Amino acid sequence: MRLIDADNFSKVFNSKIFNKLQNEYLNSTADDKTKDVADFVTAEIMTDFNDLIDNAPTIVAYTEEQIKELVELNRKLSGVRPQGEWIPVSERLPTEDNDYIVTYIFSGEKEVGKSWFNTKYGFIYEKVIAWQPLPEPYKKGGTE
């Protein structure tokens, strides 16, 4: 994937592609002028458009791996986690009063359960070490 200069692309597009489209329209018959703009796109215009994209100056080019790294970095910086990923309480606590899935220590063992969290008092369970939001309830076929 690459990032191109949209302003430069727009200028070149308007001077080359748009003008050709406009000429096709102006040279058409009165009946043709009721057609959709896509009907005026000729093979030559499509070739010019594809060449314009291919030859647009690249500002930044990213590999697929770099894109994945950027998405992961953005996710970490924004605090958004994929569904089902644990959030350590040392990192942050929930910001809303609600039920959450928690990992907690009970009799020296890690346990998983559901616990209410109150922004004033914290979790009901003691020794909660990580939490995550509850998943959405099951919906048959995505409609119920």
Extents of the domains making up the chain:
2-76, 87-135
Complete DSSP assignment for 56-98: SPEEEE--HHHHHHHHHHHHHHHT---TT--EETTT---SSSE
CA distances from 128 to 7, 96, 122, 133 (A): 52, 16, 10, 14
Kindly state the average pLDDT of the residues 56-83.
72
- When mean pLDDT is compared over 1-10, 60-69, 125-134, the highest value belongs to 125-134
Give the global pTM. Answer: 0.43
Q: 18-33: per-residue pLDDT in tens?
A: 777 777 777 777 666 6
| pLDDT at residue number 112 | 93
| pLDDT at residue number 83 | 67
Q: 99-138: per-residue pLDDT in tens?
A: 999 999 998 999 999 999 999 999 988 899 999 999 888 8
| pLDDT at residue number 94 | 93
| pLDDT at residue number 90 | 94
